[in-house]
Chain A
Amino acid sequence: MEQQNTDIIQGTLDMLILKTLSLEPMHGFGIARRIEQVSRGVFKINPGSLLTAFQRLERLGWLDSEWRQTDNSRRAKFYSLTRAGRKQLEVETADWNRRASAIARLLKAEA
């Protein structure tokens, strides 16, 4: 918990949400938790940004939402990936890999 948190890199939150949801439908807190855990606490999720991003992605047609019972029988809003969302994830992943490898090459060249 003491380690340094970083805000999500600008513009990547959508991709991280889509990626996380590509495994299974989840509710908001679950997604935030998963991102924090998988990134080993490097990325810290702001709930306001996250929940607003859900609204945006839903309107773009990439997510569907549904109120469901959780394991401990509470009501929560679960998000799942649509077909368009899956396609968008591929696009964004490819785009990200292209950029990341370019930056990696540049940094190596500098050194």
Chain B
Amino acid sequence: MSLWRQITRGLRVLAHRAAADSDVTDEVQHYFEQTAAALEAKGLSPGEARRAAGIELGNVTVVREQVRSYGWENMVETIFSDLRYAVRRLCQRPGFTAVSLLTLALGIGATTAIFSVINGVLLKPLPYPHAEQLVALWQTAPGVNIKDLNLSPSLYFVYTDENRVFQDVSIWTDATSSITGLAEPEEVPVLLTTNRLLPILAVQPALGRAFTASDDDPTSARTVMLSDGYWKSRFGGDRSVLGRRILVDGNACEVIGVLPPSFRFKDRKISLILPLRFNRSETRLGNFSFQGLARLKPGVTLEQANTDIGRMLPMASEKFPPPGGYSKKMFDDARIGPALKWAKDDLVGDIGDTLWVLMGTIGIVLLIACANVANLLLVRADGRHQELAVRAALGAGYGRIARELLLESVLLGVTGGALGLGLAYGGLRLLAASELPNLPRIYNIGIDPRVLAFALGISLAAGLGFGLIPVWKYARPHLANALRSGGRSLSRSKERNRARSILVVAQGARVDLIGQLRSDDPHLPGPAPRRPGIL
């Protein structure tokens, strides 16, 4: 309640400053008059009484200021007036301001753009509940020099029946199918999978039902689910589509359900989902042409899951015969081992390293931008050297001057950051429009709260960073020196140039570093980037 009162009273004072001030003035005035009146009553003359009251109570103005300065709103007011002053000073030097803002906008914009790519591609989880439990079922076969070995139907059956670590196991592959019997025959991308895939992803159909085990049975009637996009474009979103039969590769399939619009499976465009209908009794070893996706039980680590896979792998050759022309020994010699991957890593691939290196490089570019702006600020602070010294001599506190200088640079930083955010937004729109082929999860890249917080963070850090240099140099009062050297009676001191020399040296070092990185790392933007798709 008292916090509420603090806030409302403070706001009232801010809104009616004049009235609040005159209240304080009247109250203090009344107090003084009463004191004088009391002294008069003791026999002093009016003039003497007033003087005695003044001696007893002190300076009226000082008392008034003391009372007036109570409350958080005064802090707000001084900061606002400092801010106004900073804006005015920046507006007075449009050239300096424009150059600084442009430099910062480019630096912060580039950093923010790269960060939002990293955020969208690497940091955000996959769009499913508890996506951290999803693993891609990869194997490895060092005996035949295959590092990444896909999943075979026989292994899928073994994993499904024997595992101790998964909640659910699915197998899938993608293909294209020709659809006939509708308006025009067409080829559409399809996903072939078992009925457990959608439960693993925790996806519910928007319309109709999901697949069940009987849909996977090769003797049952054929069924199909439609994607939201396909349903809307080919059937106009007609709900009576359920139960209709469409011809997929010449087979009549009954439409049993429609997927929600939010459904995404990796980066694939999918129009239909068809059941994978394995005939278990005819399944042989081999045929490693499928992919697997499983959901781990809560708390199971990748190592534990790999161990369990290692335990199950030998069972396959006991349960299933080798295909014609192969012997069991050939499978044993392949030395198939477990190599699970987190589903996100599987999707993102090895692009993570490239992106982080890119981020580092852009970060250095931002540092250079900051160093440049710091240099400009130093030159300006140099020009205000004498003004600041005079103000310090008149009693302006170190903190007050420091705050003012910092406010100016933070204002530059944040404004530059806002412009940079605009640049980043434009850049990301271009990136999305260009549909660069090699970037996974490109649909996921955008300005979200985390990116905004990042942009704000680096803007503030940049503003404080390059603002602290002039503060460190000038807010500390070397009064006599400053007053005199401003009057040109001293030769320019060495110290004045030291900070700038340090900046120049640091900048040179960074440029060298970038040159090194460029020549060392083929991932970096250079004359011949290895992955033109990313840059």
Contacts and interface: CB of A to CB of B under 8 A. Distances in A.
B58 A58 contact: no
Interface in B1-33: 1-2, 5-6, 9, 23-24, 26-28, 30-33
Contacts of B33: 74
A77 B2 contact: no
B5, B6, B27, B33 — which one has the most chain A CB atoms within 10 A of its CB? B27
Interface string A33-65: 100000000000011110110011011110000
Contacts of A27: 30, 34
A58 B9 contact: yes
Interface residues of A, number: 23
A33 B58 CA distance: 17
Contact of A60 (B5, B26, B30): B5
Given A29-B35, A47-B28, A77 B23 contact: yes
A108 interface: no
A69 to B, nearest CB: 12
A51 B31 contact: yes
Contact of B30 (A33, A61, A74): A74
| Interface SS of B by simple majority | helix
B26 A55 contact: no
A27 B35 CA distance: 13
Contacts of A30: 34
Contact of B9 (A33, A47, A59): A59
Contacts of A84: 1
Interface stretch (B65-73, B180-188, B247-255, B257-265): B65-73
B2 A51 contact: no
Contacts of A60: 2, 5
Nearest to B59: A48
Interface in B161-204: none
A84 B127 CA distance: 53
A74 B32 CA distance: 13
B27 A28 contact: yes
| Interface SS of A by simple majority | helix
Contacts of B2: 59-61
B396 interface: no
Nearest to B30: A76
A105 interface: no
A46 B2 CA distance: 26
Interface in B54-68: 57-58, 62-63, 66-67
Nearest to B66: A48
Given A33-B38, A47-B57, A51-B63, A59 B71 contact: yes
Contacts of B67: 48, 51-52, 55
A75 B66 contact: no
Contacts of B34: 27, 29-30, 33
A104 B35 CA distance: 36
A51 B30 contact: no
A54 to B, nearest CB: 8
Interface string A61-90: 100000000000011110000001000000
Nearest to B7: A59
B30 A28 contact: yes
A47 B24 CA distance: 12
B71 A55 contact: yes
20 contacts: A28-B30, A29-B30, A29-B34, A29-B35, A30-B34, A32-B31, A33-B34, A47-B28, A47-B32, A48-B58, A51-B63, A55-B70, A58-B5, A59-B2, A59-B6, A59-B9, A61-B5, A74-B33, A77-B26, A77-B27
